[in-house]
A and B are shown apart, each in its own frame.
Chain A
Amino acid sequence: EAQVTQNPRYLITVTGKKLTVTCSQNMNHEYMSWYRQDPGLGLRQIYYSMNVEVTDKGDVPEGYKVSRKEKRNFPLILESPSPNQTSLYFCASSFLVSTDTQYFGPGTRLTVL
């Protein structure tokens, strides 16, 4: 089954404790991206990647890191999480570029205390 998976689905952590949210797709897609969803703000793009070792900033990259060492994986790293990063996070992938249909993962709900 074609899908985007994210882990963990739920995470409660404390300020400053490094964490990684994994994202994996099995569709051989080139384009992958991360979003955060907040009430009243919709989805905002954090980072995106056009291919292995090619990443670029979205609209809200501060406080986040990403890497793309393999085509199928695109982890989101929070080196020192803060309470304002409490949010619902989505990973998505598409065939080639941003204008292609995006396939979203189920979401990761992160709470930073």
Chain B
Amino acid sequence: GNSVTQMEGPVTLSEEAFLTINCTYTATGYPSLFWYVQYPGEGLQLLLKATKADDKGSNKGFEATYRKETTSFHLEKGSVQVSDSAVYFCALASTGGGNKLTFGTGTQLKVEL
């Protein structure tokens, strides 16, 4: 079956530091890949997505590239802000063999001044 593996948190960074959160996946077929963000006390919201190999998703300064050869979708941001503190979830979805969504375990990011 499908699976998503994310780096464990929490990740603590100083403001303006570079961020990388690793995500690798196992899937049959050609899944779509997502990063969702969960701010404290809220539901998840889409941060970015990529639907095919070599696609780059980007939003609010965050980027992730769909790498089929390494089955990865790492999240990066060049300069984090305190307001980026949240839990980040990598996820994949495929319409082949069902219409399920599979999430990683989430990575908590804390950004300090």
Contacts and interface: CB of A to CB of B under 8 A. Distances in A.
A74 interface: no
Contacts of A59: 100, 102
A43 interface: yes
Query: Among the interface residues B94, B95, B99, B105, which one has the most CB atoms of the partner chain A within 10 A?
Result: B99
Given A99-B95, A104-B44, A42 B101 contact: no
B32 interface: yes
Nearest to A50: B99
Given A42-B89, A90-B44, A97-B95, A102 B101 contact: yes
Interface of B: 6, 31-32, 36, 42-46, 49, 51, 89, 91, 93-95, 98-106
Interface string A8-48: 00000000000000000000000101010000111111001
Contacts of A43: 44, 89, 91, 103, 106
A105 interface: yes
A40 B9 CA distance: 10
Interface residues of A, number: 26
23 contacts: A42-B89, A42-B104, A42-B105, A43-B44, A43-B89, A43-B91, A44-B103, A45-B100, A45-B101, A45-B102, A45-B103, A48-B100, A56-B98, A58-B100, A90-B43, A92-B44, A97-B99, A98-B99, A98-B100, A99-B94, A104-B45, A106-B42, A107-B43
A33 to B, nearest CB: 7
